[in-house]
Amino acid sequence: MNRGVLGLKKSVGDKITVNGTELYYERTGRTGEGPIVIFESGYGWSSENWDPVRKELEGSTEMYFYDRAGVGKSGKSAGPLHSLQIVRNLRGLLQHAGAKPPYLLVGHSFGGVNVRLFAHLYPEDIAGVILLDSCHEDQNRKMVPLFTDEVREDYLNQFTVESTLEEFEQSLDQVRGKRLGNIPLLIVTGGDQPHHTAASMREWLNFQEELAGLSSESEHVLVEDAGHAIHLDNPSLVTSLIKKMVAQVIHSRELH
């Protein structure tokens, strides 16, 4: 490791107008080696939800955190709020901020849909993808009907915070059938999710296995003591998995 080319970036918060929307982002960590780690939050969640992971990763790799349109410190958008637009916004943000690929994309829940689409559209920019209890394109059709009435109502009523239910379902359609070739892919699933019925949890686990089949280079990790927000329930594990993939990417580069 040539530490002479490495530097530490303090966390810098800034705003960039991309496609007519003011987006807030922060960059932090060590520069000069390995892929830049890009974090995509779950539906309606601001970038602050990554704080436990960020604290443990600080100084080990360069990272970008941001708020999507209408979330956290970012401005609202008059345009669509589906995944395709989110990906366009994120790519524009990274380009304007000077964040050069390759990227390691980490997506939680709905963020998993967004990073899947990003990786499919721009595979040459991607070093790897980590999906933390990621949404699946068939969940509204196959899993939600298996919830209890109360949980199903809560789930469907949440779509006022960021995108509408219609836009969310457009996002699911936008990744349908989109594979990731041989991009390194890690699926991480929370095993402790009491909001599920037994039937809906079985469906969720089936979905996670299907996600692992999107790449020929994939691994699936089931975290028994974590729920849907794995990075909050067990940030140390998530941190270790990110560090492991970063190291694998660096090692692969050295071999080539």
Q: What is the pLDDT of residue 1?
A: 29
| 64 C-beta neighbours (distance < 10 Å), count | 20
Q: How confident is the model at residue 32 (pLDDT cuts 50, 70, 90)?
A: low
Enter the tokens of residue 156: 């469907």
The radius of gyration of the chain's CA atoms, rounded to the nearest angstrom, is: 17
Q: What is the pLDDT of residue 71?
A: 97
Q: How confident is the model at residue 9 (pLDDT cuts 50, 70, 90)?
A: low
Residues 6+ apart with CB under 8 A from 30: 6, 7, 8, 9, 59, 60, 61, 62
* Cross-strand partners of 39: 65, 106
Q: Which fold has domain 3-255?
A: Rossmann fold (3.40.50)
For 125-168, how does the pLDDT look when each residue is reduced to its tens digit (9 = 90+)? 999 999 999 999 999 999 999 999 999 999 999 999 999 999 99
Residue 8, pLDDT above cutoff 50: no
Q: What is the pLDDT of residue 251?
A: 83
